[in-house]
Amino acid sequence: MTKIILPGAWELTATNPTCELYAIYVPTRWRQVTNNLAQQRARLQGKSYRAVPVYSLDPLVVGSFPKIIKTLRNGWQKDNVPWLLATETTELSDLSDLGNLIKDWLIEEFSSLEDVESQLANLNNDDWQWGNSQTYELLHPQNKVETSNLYQAIPDYLAEKFLQKPTVSFGVDEQYQLTFYRVVSLQGAELMSWPPTEVTVTKGKETTETAYISFVLEFVLQTVPWREKPIVYHHLSIRRWLTKPLNYVPYPGVKAHIGNNRRWLDGQRQTFCFIPLMINRYGKEMKWPQAISNLLSLNDSQLPDANNLVSNPNHNWSRVNTIPSGIQAAIAYTSKLGEPPCFPGVSPQDLASLDQAIEAHLPVQRVGEAKRVTGNIFIFWPLEKPKQKIVPLLADEDIQSAKPKKAKKSDNPNHSHTPMLRPKLAAPAVFREAENSLRTILILWETPQCRNALIAEICQLLYLSPTKVENIYEGSYGSLCIKTQHVGDLTQDLEIQHFSEARKTYQQQRTNLLVERINQIIAFIPQTKKLSGALIEIRLKPRISEADTKLAWRIGAMKAGYLNQHIHRITYITKAGEEKPKKSGLEPVKRAVSDLLRQFGLLPDTPLINSKKDGIDPDVWLTCFYVLRRTRKTNAENIPKTVVLMIRVNPITAQVELTTPDLFKEQGWISYPVGLAHLLNEDWDSNSYDESNEELDDEQKRKEQTKEQRLINKFVAECLQECLNTQITDNKSPRVLFMAEALNARKMLNWLQNQNLLTNDPLQALKQYLSQEQINRLWVVRLRIADTGEVPVAIVKDSPGSRTSGVYLWQGVCDHGERSLYLSVRKALYTERGTTILQKTQSRLDNGSRQAGKARILEIALIHHPEIKGDKLAHFVHSLRSRWPYFANDVSLPLPFPFAIKAKEYAISTKDPVESSETDDSNF
């Protein structure tokens, strides 16, 4: 078995590399006028966020002049802070065209206000000027400002070096040659192969199609626990291009990638690069941002017509082995745009090819290696082989075939790879004596096939059979009431009107329509005093996403007393008018039922720690911390509060509990389902998912956040103290495993930030509340997930393309030898094994019909672990990833984190904007 993996983490070896940056400051008069416009709009719309929305301006400006590598939002608030930093200046010293671009952006951005153009009339384009350049060393920054600039400067430096030899060989035999070009980005540095490469995709037994993809390479600079200097990570993914006309463009539009060898800001020649640019949808019309269209017309360039590009997404693509020229355009696939052209992600072989290219192209060296940690590897809930054919207690005659099928392993529900889909585990868990247990399920159905399948699944999973009493089903473990009711017309789309008729945006209409539908749902559903469950058959998401009723059902059913899970119909109507089951079969039914059980915090009725195999005493509370979002309610100081969760699990009774700062003061820990119901009653801030709200632009906001951090630290300490004082077994003081995820928690628990781990006692924030004896029974672990790009990829040493799993100690990365950093690599999903994934020698370019089989890597930083060896604790945290019993192994974070993350389903309000599903392809 493989013992060593190579992290995709590098440090510079070049002799005294330097960077020269030029700055642009916002002229005082421009700043005043723009801030005034932002405040006018905030007052008009009743919003509290009044800062200049530079998040929509920055991409336009950076796309117009790709040598800009960094923007500082405070540059629009303060006169001594630059707004833009660039690695070179425009050909002309003046920036008059920049003034025109910003005016056009202001006119479009603040179109809801009157007399915008008159307020801009006295702004002078000549006010914009380049500041003096500054040269400094990349390896030896002199102050905090220079250190901050490294996060853009070093990736930019490496990208430019890489482009000196832009062609890379991919594949086990280096059979593919890919040439990379720069993509404008403010997040590290991004390179993309061009022109797109053809990939064969098999659909069905005989049909083959061709997909077009580009490889995307990113360099990012990251800090690491207990290491002073940041290091470079590389990430590889693919971008899948659309080639067929888009029949429907979702609101507010789609993103295009525009390739050009002329700079838009001054019309001068440049190395061919790509600029991501939104095509905005106005009704049925597609338009480019006004500011960009006007700027290009000034410089005698022309983007392709937006409507034509949507109809023909491959505009002027280069041919293989030709130098790109002119304007080229392409639209990348996202989850909103229909069926994917091919599977996402790259293979381990592709990562190995890239890793070799980095070593050959760049002045860098790898940071350390990761050695496998030995430990017991065992399946916590092992499968059982079927002994006899299992016949479902209730079968849907409309779905069953006429001839009985031969028994298979899958016929035995106890052979399910998902533990909580096995009756032997699920039934005892549901019916064990516990507070607020599940005793009633309401099925709100639209099609009888879905209703019957849900009843059959519940009965099979919980060993139930119907009784003579209406709606009562009984089995060896207990009884359950299953009520059914047709949904009527309450799942129909909300009646969103066109803007020209309603004079309101879709989102403005949606809020009122949701409230109306929620009230109808509450009046329609039979009320229940005891918390119950509901399974609701809803319709597919409509084209106008704001018309979706899912949120109304989530809130309405919960207000009526039902935790609820939704399911789409499991049949479809053929052209001949026949109703047939979908290819997915009964999988959505199984998932819906198990997800409802998950909302009740149900775990298998077996201890979650195996003392013999884990080597850990079971007297350990499993706890985690999670930040949800901010509320509109304020505290005594009139400051909106951030709601944070603590989840704890008793590993012996498998009881799941939840608390928040408000709940803890009044009730302490409460059962998980009751906690979910409580979350719905918070007055959530509709803008609290908007990162722009988190900008700390002034001293007052920093003071507010510091105070909030102190309150949350006190809450965490009190929760941990209560756990430490609550025995799990008799006559023994328990330990507590406390876990937090870095990206989610570090703003509130700032003692978990890397710079504080390096310089401070990380537990100082807790020690003022906990005794030394309690601190000695506390284990603190900080985690980072790969999805955010903050964890390196892993390449198997001496075996390119191989896959591995387990816990690896990353050696040679921390400055202090007594500190340990681990990488947890999980095995491939059971659905990804065998012939369903790209094999060891395959590139993504060899096959678009197989899954990548990518590893979900988790970084484990052991902050505090008295009386247990680091290797053993890291291995235990790794094992908790596979101890999540709902659709095992499809989570990155260990138990009990999924309970905390899924709680967001109830941290909602009618004022929330529609969830965006605009996701880019990625491999991490």
pLDDT tens per residue, range 567-624: 999 988 887 878 888 888 889 999 999 999 999 999 998 899 999 999 999 999 999 9
3-state SS class at 693: helix
Helix or strand run (H / E) with residue 572:
strand 571-573
Residue 455 to residue 481: CA distance in whole angstroms: 11
Residue 597 to residue 481: CA distance in whole angstroms: 15
Residue 225 and residue 754 in contact, taking contact as beta carbons nearer than 8 Å: yes
Which range (108-122, 188-202, 719-733, 910-924) has the least confidence? 910-924
pLDDT at 202 over 70: yes
Per-residue pLDDT at 924: 26
Per-residue b/e over 281-319, b at no fewer than 16 CB within 10 Å?
Answer: beeeebbbbbbbebbbeebeeebbebeebbebbbbebbe
pLDDT-derived band at 633 (thresholds 50, 70, 90) equals low
Residue 511: closest CA among 551, 542, 483: 551
- The token pair that represents 496 in the structure block: 């969103």
Q: Kindly write down the DSSP assignment for every residue of 116-151, as one continuous string.
A: HHHHHTT--GGG-BB---EEEESSS--SHHHHHHHH
Residue that wins the pLDDT comparison between 836 and 106: 106
CA atoms within 13 A on the CB side of 685: 23
Per-residue pLDDT at 395: 40
3-state SS class at 728: coil
Residue 209 to residue 337: CA distance in whole angstroms: 18
pLDDT at 164 over 90: yes
Report pLDDT digits (tens) over 56-98: 899 899 989 989 999 988 889 888 889 999 998 887 666 888 9
Residue 196: closest CA among 309, 360, 342: 342
- Based on the number of CB atoms within 10 Å of its own CB, is 122 exposed (0-12), middle (13-18) or buried (19 or more)? exposed
CA atoms within 13 A on the CB side of 842: 19
Residue 226 and residue 816 in contact, taking contact as beta carbons nearer than 8 Å: yes
Residue 29 and residue 123 in contact, taking contact as beta carbons nearer than 8 Å: yes
The structure's pTM equals: 0.90
Per-residue pLDDT at 605: 87
Beta bridge partner(s), residue 810: 370
Question: Tokens 């293989």 correspond to what residue?
Answer: 320
Beta bridge partner(s), residue 217: 191, 236
- The token pair that represents 145 in the structure block: 């400002």
Can you give the C-alpha Rg of the chain in angstroms?
A: 29
Residues 501, 502, 504, 508, CA torsion sign: negative
Question: Tokens 């989570």 correspond to what residue?
Answer: 891
The mean pLDDT of the chain is: 87
Residue 315 to residue 258: CA distance in whole angstroms: 9
Report pLDDT digits (tens) over 514-563: 999 999 999 999 989 899 999 999 998 887 888 999 999 999 999 999 99
Per-residue b/e over 203-239, b at no fewer than 16 CB within 10 Å?
Answer: eeeeeeeebbbbbbbbbbbbbbbbbebbbbbbbbbbb
pLDDT at 796 over 50: yes
pLDDT at 232 over 90: yes
Residue 119 and residue 36 in contact, taking contact as beta carbons nearer than 8 Å: yes
Residue 347 and residue 353 in contact, taking contact as beta carbons nearer than 8 Å: no
Residue 338 to residue 318: CA distance in whole angstroms: 26
Any idea of the CA torsion for 771, 774, 775, 777, to the nearest 10 degrees?
Answer: 170
Per-residue pLDDT at 916: 46
Any idea of the CA torsion for 342, 346, 349, 354, to the nearest 10 degrees?
Answer: 130
Residue 63 to residue 866: CA distance in whole angstroms: 52
Residue 334 and residue 314 in contact, taking contact as beta carbons nearer than 8 Å: no
Residue 193 to residue 845: CA distance in whole angstroms: 12
